[in-house]
Each structure stands twice: as structure tokens, then as C-alpha cells.
Amino acid sequence: MEIIEATAEYLVDNMTGLTGSAYGVVKPTDLAELVDALTFAKAQQIGVIVIGANTGLSGATLPEHDELLIDLSGWNKILDLDEATGSLTVEAGVTLNQIYDYVEARGYFYPPDPGAKQATIGGNISTNAGGMRAVKYGVTRDFVKALQVVLIDGTVLELGSINQKDSTNYDLKDLIIGSEGTLAIITRATLKVIAQPQVSQSILISFDNLDLAIENVAAILKTGVRPASVEFFEREGLKYAEIYLNQQLFIEDGEAFILLTLDGNLEQVGQEKVLIKNILKNSRTQVDLSEQQAKIAWQLRDNLAAGVQAQTIAEPVDIVVPTSKITETVKYLKAIAEAEKLEIVTFGHAGDGNIHALILKKSLSDQLWQKSLSNYLEKMYHYVNQVGGLASAEHGIGTLKRPYFIKHLDPNLYSLYQKIKFAFDPEGRLNAGKKI
């Protein structure tokens, strides 16, 4: 087992600029070497953090206590496609792009669609990533059939199965999903894949303001139409992606946008398009996007955060509120940003209430930035709790949201979560201090 020095890619959070420190990095090539690394960490009584593509947005893999980092990004083999059961088995370091390319070439579809396509499936499972197609298809959890995991003591477990029903045991597989690497190390996953939709049509609609955009999303969903994805963003945030990609959106009017995709068979998509156009009110422009236009529009949406990140340090926000509270929540986020003299970019998943925001540091001094940001987050998470929302929809809790998550958590639940953590990791050495 070789331990190498942890370079900046492991120690610096890409979005916030926060810096940590690590004992070193191990890149095991198989289960035996992984277990050797865990044995070494046990002997040295040091913590362990598993690293994938390092695309997280909550500081969940930032080392805070000189941990040993275990890099599984090299575990990137697609192992099997069982077409009889629609089951794809992959190693934890396989990226979303690898999965999409592989299954689509064979006529299949893996619906979860988080923004970072270079993220690993292990990271997606660890945060229960949602993405843009969640409104129709669900989140990562809905497409994980089975997992191979390794406990902190080196025990290898097989959780779940390719069977469609199971009421035999405690569902440990679902406990691991979304646990942010605090309970076990994911090494292999068996995923559910489905048949590709016959037709996929993206539609871009512009409005004078976000209120109108969200009102129309509610009207669309009320009809029973379930778009594969329904995204909202505003022109003031779009400019960051346009600069980053050197690509302009082809609609010049409107200040708020809805970008949605309908998929299914030809007749179904045709009927849904007509229904949507008949109920839309006060829109500026509606465009049924060509394949090339759709590619550009979705690339711009995907790169809103990357565009901001290229220009300044930013604090990522990933909250979820009842869909009826989207507009007022975005207004509140902007109001407290103005009060704290901060700039903010908002966008998100209009169909499921998942609001993303980036709070921008720009030219603020470090001292003023930390003070203003702390005030902002205290107010924001209090508001989210008051309206029945949650601190994270898909990015996880990690380091950044931990104090706010715990502050608003029922103490009885917190105690139970601690007991679960202790059952898997008695010494508290696996991604210590994250989430719980």
C-alpha cells in the first residue's frame, strides 16, 4: 500500500475555497488493498474519507482532522448489463457520463440527471443526488438495486438485490444511500435502467419575472402533465454561464425562464405540448427547441454554478421547500442578500421545490464575507425551517450545512442518528464530523 501526498485537488474545496489537511492519499486497486488501508488507519487511529471526482457542493469530502483519503476514482469499470432484469452493475468510480454513453448505445436510459456529469456514481449514491429529471423519474435512490460496501473494520457486505420486491430484512441499502460516506464505503452498485423514451422534446419559455414563471409551472403540473424536467433560472444568473461557455442563449426577451423536457411516445409528447401551450399565460416567448438548441440551453443551465465559480468564491445553497413556496422563498433569499450587501444567483428545479442559490464573495474582504455570510445563512435556514422546507435536497449536509442542519433537528432524531452512526462506525473515524 502506497501513501502519497495530498495535493490541492484533495485539500481545497472548489466552490468555497475552504482548505483542509490530510495524512495522505491511498489509491487502492482492489478490495484487498482497500482493506489494508482501513487496517492501517485503524492502527494509526486516524480517520478515513473516501474521494471520488471531487464535485461535491457541501464540503462532504473536505478533510478536517488529518484523515487518510482513499481515492476510488480509478474504480471505473462497467461490469455487467443484465438486460433480462434491467440491471447495470458498475464500480463506484464510474462517472455519470460513462453510464449515459454505455446504456444509451444499447437502447437503455438511466434517468437521474445531476448537474455534474463527471461525478462518480459512488458520490451520487452517497448524497442521493437528484438532478433535473427528478420530477418525473425520481432521484438516485429510486434507481439503486444493490450495493457492495466495506465497513470501517474491513467487513465486506452485499446489500439489496435485483429482485423487485423485498420485505425480508432491514433496508440497509437505503440507509447507506444519502449517508455521505459516514456509514460505509461504497465500492460497487447495481443500478436500474429502463427503455429509452421514443421522443424527447425540450421547450424554452420566457417571462417578465419569476413569479409568472413559477405560476405557469404550477398550472402545468396541475393538468397531470409530468415533464421529465422543469428548470427555472433568471437572466441575471444566466450571464455567468454565457461568459463561462462563450455561448449566448437564443432568446433575447424575458427576465425569467422555464426550461422543460417532455418525453415518452410520439403521441403522448404531442398531446402534452398542445396542453401546455393552451394553458400558458403571460409568457413572452415559447420555443420548441431543435436538438442543437436543446443542447445549448441545457449546457447553459448545467453550467450556471460553474460560471459563477469561475469568477468568484461562492457559497452553494441547496434547499427544498414546498412547491407553493418557491417564489416567496426566492424573494426572501434576494431580500436578505440585499440586506447583507451580498450578491446572489438563484435557479433550480421548479417541479419539486428544490432551489439552488450561489452567494457570491466578489470583492468583499475575508472578514466581512464571513460575517455577512454567517448572518445570511442563519436567517435563510431559519426561514426554510419555518415554511416546512429542508436544508438539503440533493447536495447533502457535509461541512457547510452541518451547524444549521443540527440546529433545526429534533433532538430525539439526532440521538437516533448518532446511534446508527455508532453501530456502523463505533470509533467515529469514517468521514468524521460530516452530516452528524
- Enter the pTM of the model: 0.93
Position 52 in a domain: no
Task: Answer yes or no: do 289 and 313 share one domain.
Answer: no
Task: Answer yes or no: do 339 and 267 share one domain.
Answer: no
- Buried-state track 211-244, b at ≥16 Cβ within 10 A, e below 16: bbbbbbbeebbeeebbbbbbbbbbbebbebbbeb
For residue 144, the model assigns a pLDDT of: 98
pLDDT tens digits, one per residue of 134-148: 999 999 999 999 999
Position 315 in a domain: yes
Task: Answer yes or no: do 281 and 311 share one domain.
Answer: no
Task: Answer yes or no: do 221 and 251 share one domain.
Answer: yes
Position 423 in a domain: no
427 band by pLDDT with thresholds 50, 70 and 90 = very high
The number of folded domains in the chain is 2
For residue 13, the model assigns a pLDDT of: 85
Position 381 in a domain: yes
Check if the beta carbon of residue 285 is closer than 8 Å to that of residue 259. Answer: no
Instruction: Please give the mean pLDDT across all residues of the chain.
Output: 95
For residue 14, the model assigns a pLDDT of: 76
Task: Answer yes or no: do 366 and 286 share one domain.
Answer: no
Distance, C-alpha 3 to centroid of its chain: 30
Which amino acid type is present at position 25? V
For residue 169, the model assigns a pLDDT of: 87
The CATH number linked to 268 is 3.30.70.3450
**Residue 160 pLDDT exceeds 80:** yes
For residue 93, the model assigns a pLDDT of: 98
Task: Answer yes or no: do 314 and 396 share one domain.
Answer: yes
For residue 178, the model assigns a pLDDT of: 97
Check if the beta carbon of residue 304 is closer than 8 Å to that of residue 238. Answer: yes
Task: Answer yes or no: do 284 and 319 share one domain.
Answer: no
Task: Answer yes or no: do 283 and 219 share one domain.
Answer: yes
**Residue 57 pLDDT exceeds 90:** no
Task: Answer yes or no: do 334 and 265 share one domain.
Answer: no
Position 67 in a domain: no
For residue 16, the model assigns a pLDDT of: 80
The rounded percent of the chain whose pLDDT value lies above 90 is: 91
List of E strands, 83-239: 87-91, 108-109, 144-150, 156-160, 185-192, 194-195, 199-207, 229-234
Distance, C-alpha 139 to centroid of its chain: 10
pLDDT tens digits, one per residue of 202-244: 999 999 999 999 999 999 988 889 999 999 999 999 999 999 9
234 Cβ neighbours under 8 A, 6+ residues apart: 210, 255, 256, 257, 345, 346, 347
Task: Answer yes or no: do 289 and 247 share one domain.
Answer: yes
Position 426 in a domain: no
Residue that wins the pLDDT comparison between 125 and 57: 125
Position 368 in a domain: yes
For residue 115, the model assigns a pLDDT of: 84
For residue 96, the model assigns a pLDDT of: 97
Task: Answer yes or no: do 284 and 318 share one domain.
Answer: no
**Which is it for the CA torsion 177, 180, 182, 184, positive or negative?**
positive
For residue 421, the model assigns a pLDDT of: 97
The CATH number linked to 394 is 3.30.70.2740
Determine the Cα–Cα distance for residues 279 and 281; give it in Å rounded to an integer: 6
**Residue 17 pLDDT exceeds 90:** no
pLDDT tens digits, one per residue of 305-331: 999 989 999 999 999 999 989 999 999
Task: Answer yes or no: do 283 and 362 share one domain.
Answer: no
**Residue 15 pLDDT exceeds 80:** no
For residue 116, the model assigns a pLDDT of: 87
For residue 1, the model assigns a pLDDT of: 82
Average pLDDT for 159-177: 94
pLDDT tens digits, one per residue of 368-392: 999 999 999 999 999 999 999 999 9
**Residue 85 pLDDT exceeds 90:** yes
Range of the domain at 385: 306-404
Cβ-in-10-Å burial (0-12, 13-18, 19+) of 80 comes to exposed
**Residue 184 pLDDT exceeds 80:** yes
- Buried-state track 407-419, b at ≥16 Cβ within 10 A, e below 16: eeeeeeeeeebee
For residue 122, the model assigns a pLDDT of: 98
pLDDT tens digits, one per residue of 286-300: 999 999 999 999 999
Angle at alpha carbon of residue 92, lines to 89 and 94, rounded to 5°: 80
Q: What backbone phi and psi angles, to 5 degrees, belong to 209?
A: -155, 170
Position 398 in a domain: yes
